[in-house]
Copies of this chain bind each other. A is one copy, B any other.
Amino acid sequence: MAATRPKTPATPEPAAPDRLSEAQERFVQAWGQMAGAWGVTRTMAEAHALLYITGEPHNSDDLMHRLRISRGNASMTLRALLDWGLVTKVHKRGDRKEYFRAEQDVWTVLRTILRERAKRELAPMLASLHEIRDLTSDDADTPTTDHNARLDAMLEFATIADELIQRCVEADAPTMLGDALVGAGAPREGPA
């Protein structure tokens, strides 16, 4: 029965390279589904996933073919990833093309994403909250005191979140979870 080329129609045991490719492909897909969670487009996430899981630098053409996207899209996607700081340029001797490599440490990737999202989303939010708070700050009317309390709660929340992220961003990989998150300004009650 068992032969070097079995006639079994349904793939019985794919060769190692095939399994690797399939694993890579599925990883790219899975990571692409998380795109929303990271606040990037699906293609950005897929491109990043490909660069991460292969570990190798790739150029625009590689992306075009493996992700089946247009040249323009590949260019824009890589530029956006560069802008986020999720990939870096790599030059290859004797090759005119530009290559891109993804950061290989997952904790650094997380810190990069936290930093960018805090900058792009949290900071403007904090600014808005402060402005809004000023609208009713000098008002002693009863109807606004409740409103102000709610606004202040949100403001404190956003501020703590900002500080927490700041700590994570500044920490180095191994201490991130340990040191960075401790004593981040939790709203503790008693003093002693």
Interface of A with B (CB < 8 Å)? Answer: 16-17, 19-20, 22-24, 26-27, 29-30, 33-34, 36-37, 39, 52-53, 55, 104-107, 110, 117, 121-122, 124-125, 128-129, 131-132, 135-136, 139, 141, 143-144, 146-147, 150-151, 153-154, 157, 160, 164, 174-178, 181-182, 184-189
Contacts and interface: CB of A to CB of B under 8 A. Distances in A.
A175 B184 CA distance: 12
A110 to B, nearest CB: 7
Query: Top 3 closest A-B pairs, CB basis?
Result: A177-B186, A30-B128, A106-B157
A8 B160 CA distance: 42
Given A19-B136, A157-B106, A33 B189 contact: no
A129 B157 CA distance: 33
A186 B182 contact: no
B151 A177 contact: no
A151 B36 contact: no
A149 B176 CA distance: 21
A27 B184 contact: no
